[in-house]
A and B are shown apart, each in its own frame.
Chain A
Amino acid sequence: MFPTLAVLRTSVTDFDPTLPGRAKHGDEQAFIKIVEFYYPRCLRFARNMLGSEQDAEEAVQDTFVRVHDSFPRFREDARFDPWLFRILANRCRTLMARNRRHRSVIEYGDVPQTATAEHEIGADWAEEVRVVLDTLPAEQREAFLLRHVEDLSYEDISAMTGAGLSALRMRVKRACDALRARLTDGSKDDRRIG
């Protein structure tokens, strides 16, 4: 039995679910607590999506500005995570669109076959995974991160992105296939996975 992905889940037990509703009604302290709680998680997603610390910080900052702006439109009976990550994912897409460096990886098409570069050799496992992740089409990278790293359900991701459940499952599968192929191919050296 493979280890469960539950071990990766971010604990939300200490997040007060009343905070979004209070922030919506103008409670600034509630908003500050939301930023403090979600900032690291948002930064993790943005960094994994954008591959750049600086771009990630910009995306996260823009996201919270927009969250604050958009709280009047937040439905209190809705879950906060998908709503927040929808805004964050949109900010990441916008940054990718505006960033010439990432232009080549937001196009559709087959995943490039030459992912292993010399600079990967000797890099740690996390960095190696990021390098491979960065070669994936943006929609696959986004779906993989939301599902397997942020632990959102397919239903939540579907609501966020507007993509159908089948399409999302296919994106995640393709991302996993590509990761599996590259990382396995590039990691005959056991220290990468062992």
Chain B
Amino acid sequence: MAHPLSDPATARQALATMWEIRRFEEAVDDLFARGLMHGTMHLSIGQEASPTGVCLALRDDDAITSTHRGHGHCIAKGADLTRMMAELLAKETGYCRGRGGSMHIADVDTGNLGANGIVAGGIPIATGAALAYRLRGDDKVVACFFGDGAVNEGAFHEAVNLGAIWKLPVVYICENNKYGMSFSTEKSMAVENVAEKAAGYGMPGVTVDGNDVAAVYEAMETAVARARSGEGPTLLENVTYRWKGHSKSDKNLYRTRDEISEWQGRDPIVAFETRVVEAGLLGRDDIAAVRDEVVQKLRAAVREANSAPDADPSDLLDSVYASA
């Protein structure tokens, strides 16, 4: 819980987290392209500053809920890269023992209550977790991630209203990457910013540059303080952009190459590296070291996950119900 530009150690941590997200997803993209990974996945390359800035403002015992585009949230909250990779590689040692895959990674020990394959599905759940903390007298906060597509689901409106009327310790974080699959926010909303919708629920709505990890952190720090002190939720809108398609079926017919390359020019990681060097927090050699460490970490994760046993179908029927 420190500003990413406050000291060299935190700057390094923020940078390492963003690189871990980037390299994890590049590795996944590559494994999929080579036919070595099954199923589908949704990549968040280009959006790394949002989960990183958000989770920097959380305590370790705070919780998050995530989305179908959730690798970054998991990593930023502290998930183990090897167990994540093992899950995507359909291994018994994966977070979900091969039962969930990319869209259902949770890590209850690090406060990740789960990614979600249903758009807006996690918003009521985050609200309920916040209610549980309130009822127990616990001062934990829930950070609820969702995309711009989710704000047109009924679940968003019902849950955000519950959070507001009960002043629950939750921060609603819209990662507005401009498109719900192919449908742009210009077409899906009659307001310019998602944050404007906060007014309808009597909570603050804040729009920030979601590619600026410091800006995300600062807005989140204010929202977390408000939530933890019992004043209720905030709707935080992190404006960002996904470089890759929605999923593996995407041919990018709904946006231009120019638009994509314009946003690639606003790379959140490059921008942060420039800032930390200018601020004198890290040198170029420190940055090279971070990059190298992350590459090594990812290679080890892929290697270890690949050598793990495949997910075992023998006890599938015993996995449906929890036993008392």
* Physical interaction between A and B: no
Residues of A within 8 A of B (CB): none
